[in-house]
Structure 1
Amino acid sequence: MNKPLIIIFTTIVLDAIGIGIIFPILPSLLKDLTHTSNVALYIGIMTALYAVMQFIFAPVLGALSDRLGRKPVLMISLGGAVLNYLFLTFSPHLWMLLLGRAIAGMTSANVAVAMAYITDITPPEKRARRFGLFNAMFGMGFIIGPVLGGVLGDHWLRLPFIAAAVLNGCNFLMAWFVLPESRPPSREKINLSALNPLRPLRWAFSIRGLLPIVMTFFILSATGEAYGICWALWGYDAFQWNGFWIGLSLGAFGVFQTLVQIFLPGPATRLFGERGAILIGIACACSALVALAFVREGWMVFVIMPIFALGGIGNPALQALVTRQVDPDRQGQLQGVLTSAISLASIVAPLFFSTVYFAVQQEWPGAVWLSVAAVYLIAIPLVLQSTHAKTKATDHPAV
């Protein structure tokens, strides 16, 4: 693996740790600031605020990375993350906490720019494997982050925010001094109309074959939101799991998911093609979800997890497929549009799946997983449509 990839993957691990490190202590912090024990509404507001700002600004930052280069926009994003965590560390009032999350949402281009960077330096035939490694690094950070946040939070409630600020500061310095630019700045002047957040979305919808893929990203992201909303509630209602077992189950899934993302996306794409890998991933995820709906003993969940994790092999193939739909000078804009789709899913999906779970909680908590499988199935005709569309071949610099 070459140096730029090592640096960008390290950046993603540190970024994911920084995000996950605050999860264990955010409820306690909100209780401290609001002087109320029921903070679910405030958590929802913070989550929605971040997602709305990301939805608006991610396409703009992606388009800017096509004009200014990847590195300057990554610097803006990492600097915004440091500012956000400092707000969280020293905010004595709720409005400062919300302001910090708004700034983080505005500058949250880390993932989009990193994916555009990988696209810049990777030939098409290697992208599925490298996007798999990308997802594995992000998953690894999310395994480490909550554990580290819980340990640090026991010493001081604000300590995880300081640690997150330090990690993002190290990220900033590493990218500034070590990471080479993958795309030289364009000589074209920036048209202010290009900063219209709706313009990249209109551009994406105008490209044949791209809209079904964006919609597929939205659906897969929406299904991913269901686990964060329903997993802990389901574990408690179905098996009377305590915090230890819920954490253990999530950690076990994270390990399986990381192993799958490291070793399988590349071989799966070579054997079955991008469309085949995506469809196999959806089939594995749906099979596991149906099984989860009917399990009666907690240990059965751990048996199903390897099949569940295999559902992840389709995501890198989908990411590789979408990069071949546009020219190299539009990759940042494309990744910004995809980030907006993910953000929109983060706004809509929690409301939908929490409503479904509330409806089935008393009679059959596991039925919520059937609704997730049903949403997954909507993606199948979209995948078939997108892979039948003519794919535009482009030349990309490889390393």
Structure 2
Amino acid sequence: MGKLRGLSHLLVTVFLSVFGSFMVLPAITDVTMLALCPGQDECSLAIYLTGFQQAIIGLGMVVMSPLIGNLSDKHGRKSLLTVPMTLAIIPLVILAFSRTTNFFYAYYIIRTLTAMVAGGAMECLTLAYVADNIAERERASAFGILAGVRSAAWVCGTLAARFLSTSSTFQLAALVSMIATVYMRIFLEESLPYEQQASDNLTQPIFKHADDEPNLVDEEDGQIQKTTMQIQAFKNIPSLQDVLCLLKTSKTFSQAAVVSFFQSLADGGIEATLLYFLKARFQFSKNQFADLMLITGIAGTISQLLFMPLMATAIGEEKLLSIGLLVGSANMFIYSISWSAWVPYVVSLFSSVAIFSYPTVRSIASKQFGANEQGKALGCISGISSFANIVSPLIFSSLTALFLSERAPINFPGFSIMCVGLALMIAFIQSTMITTAPGQRNGNNNVMEN
């Protein structure tokens, strides 16, 4: 009962957090265009700035996601969840106050800095929390339910944005994000791998006072030097050698990492280009973006909460992953040749299948390691995905700006979207080669030590 209660509080936390974060998505494109290129339907500056921000955020996440995941294995998921959830509030408060050009640039800088820390940490920590409390055989279904709750929050947030003014949208988003953080701190129980829960170090603090550290005496001048927790924190940053060690430990894990890289490469392309493509191609605005996200969110919620647990049991995670990637690739190809404004709405319905790929690839990766290594493993996957988010905007933002401009070499506005589909196709091909061997390692072994 304790574990179920903890998971229910986690789901509420995730719902509120995602609700606050995602309800601003339908409005942010219009806010960006109005601040940078008022009165225009195509703005290369907005596309380039969005891509640059995404690349810088990815650069920070490459370091911070594995670090936070690693620290959570030692100090608990709840303790580390406080960091990304608190940081996510600040940018929302800025645009809740004003959306003029100066405030937009302030939001742009602050969000870039905070998302470098908070961007991938929330997903990594919540998945690790679930892995701590759910057996391997039920983990795919649990990850699917967690993704379904995210989709439900996306639906509710988008629905709220559809009927609220832009200013009210950002104000409500900031308020809900604050409530989510407070709720998490009050109700969510701490979660640590079972090996550590049995020890006496369950409540060891993340930061210790200098008085608690051993003293080091300099024999030459007799001065007392004390070790600092800053040095210890840097020791928790996984090196490239640590990541390579994880990848070499399990062939299945390395294959899942490749799939995650190309999947995230495509996701970054979608995030950086799709809304700008639709605005330039069909003059979509906040309401049309909200309608598309509602369709995607409702379809994703139903499929992940109802169908995915049944299908994962019936056909297996590997096949479900491949099906999701194949449908996602087909969706992007159709988006790229959209010939009418109704086409994106129809394509959005098929996201109910494409969305299967997200929880399944992480479930496959999670099962390759023991309970005391979930933070490291999932943090590594998040770091690899973050690296893809550095590369993605450098490719897709430039392609989108070029093919939406008058300098396009050919008349194909959706060329960058087609390239997104190609990235997903590569991920699909790699996913067909995955052969899982769960439980290769037990929870008592530590990859970093080995």
TM-score band w.r.t. shorter chain:
0.7 to 0.9
Q: Against the structure 1 CA distance between its residues 259 and 213, is the aligned structure 2 distance closer, same or farther, given a 3 Å change threshold?
A: same
Q: Which amino acid aligns with 1:178?
A: F
**Relative to structure 2, which stretch is displaced further, 25-34 or 335-344?**
25-34
Q: Against the structure 1 CA distance between its residues 31 and 251, is the aligned structure 2 distance closer, same or farther, given a 3 Å change threshold?
A: closer
The match for 1:208 is 250
Q: Which amino acid aligns with 1:122?
A: I
Q: Which has the larger radius of gyration?
A: 2
1:181 aligns with 2:163: no
- Give, in whole Å, the separation in 2 of the partners of 1:83 and 1:164: 11
- The Cα of 1:79 is off from its aligned counterpart by 2.6
- Give, in whole Å, the separation in 2 of the partners of 1:126 and 1:217: 21
Contact 1:88–1:100 (Cα < 8 Å) also in 2: no
* Cα shift readout 1:250-281 (whole Å, capped 9, x = no counterpart): 32122212222222222222121121111122
> Which has a greater percent of helix?
1
* Cα shift readout 1:315-361 (whole Å, capped 9, x = no counterpart): 22212111111111010122222222232222222232233344555
- The Cα of 1:241 is off from its aligned counterpart by 4.8
The match for 2:61 is 54
**Relative to structure 2, which stretch is displaced further, 121-130 or 387-396?**
387-396
The match for 1:75 is 82
Q: Which runs of 5 or more residues in structure 2 are unaligned?
A: 207-231, 405-409, 445-450
Equivalent position to 2:123, from 111, 129, 146? 111
1:120 aligns with 2:163: no
- Give, in whole Å, the separation in 2 of the partners of 1:299 and 1:330: 46
TM-score, scaled relative to structure 2? 0.75
**Relative to structure 2, which stretch is displaced further, 68-77 or 295-304?**
295-304
Q: How does 1:14-163 map to 2 (within 5 A)?
A: 14-24=16-26, 26=28, 40=46, 41-86=48-93, 94=105, 98-99=109-110, 101-108=112-119, 109-149=121-161, 153-154=165-166, 156=167, 160-163=169-172
- The Cα of 1:66 is off from its aligned counterpart by 0.1
- Give, in whole Å, the separation in 2 of the partners of 1:49 and 1:230: 17
Q: Which amino acid aligns with 1:59?
A: P
**Aligned-residue CA RMSD in angstroms?**
3.5
- Give, in whole Å, the separation in 1 of the partners of 2:306 and 2:282: 32
- Give, in whole Å, the separation in 1 of the partners of 2:114 and 2:86: 10
The match for 1:13 is 15
* Cα shift readout 1:372-397 (whole Å, capped 9, x = no counterpart): 2221222244324442667516479x
Contact 1:275–1:384 (Cα < 8 Å) also in 2: yes
Aligned sequence identity (%): 19
Q: Against the structure 1 CA distance between its residues 395 and 372, is the aligned structure 2 distance closer, same or farther, given a 3 Å change threshold?
A: same
Count of residue pairs the alignment pairs up: 393
* Cα shift readout 1:158-184 (whole Å, capped 9, x = no counterpart): x55543343232222222221122215
Contact 1:265–1:317 (Cα < 8 Å) also in 2: no
- Give, in whole Å, the separation in 2 of the partners of 1:52 and 1:130: 30
Contact 2:77–2:190 (Cα < 8 Å) also in 1: yes
Contact 1:256–1:309 (Cα < 8 Å) also in 2: yes
Q: Which amino acid aligns with 1:288?
A: N
The match for 2:339 is 296
TM-score, scaled relative to structure 1? 0.83
* Cα shift readout 1:103-150 (whole Å, capped 9, x = no counterpart): 343244222111100111111122112211222222232333355457
Q: Which amino acid aligns with 1:206?
A: K
- Give, in whole Å, the separation in 2 of the partners of 1:241 and 1:26: 13
Contact 1:357–1:365 (Cα < 8 Å) also in 2: yes
Q: How does 1:132-281 map to 2 (within 5 A)?
A: 132-149=144-161, 153-154=165-166, 156=167, 160-183=169-192, 184=196, 187=201, 192=233, 194-198=235-239, 200-209=242-251, 210-236=253-279, 238-239=281-282, 241=284, 244-281=287-324
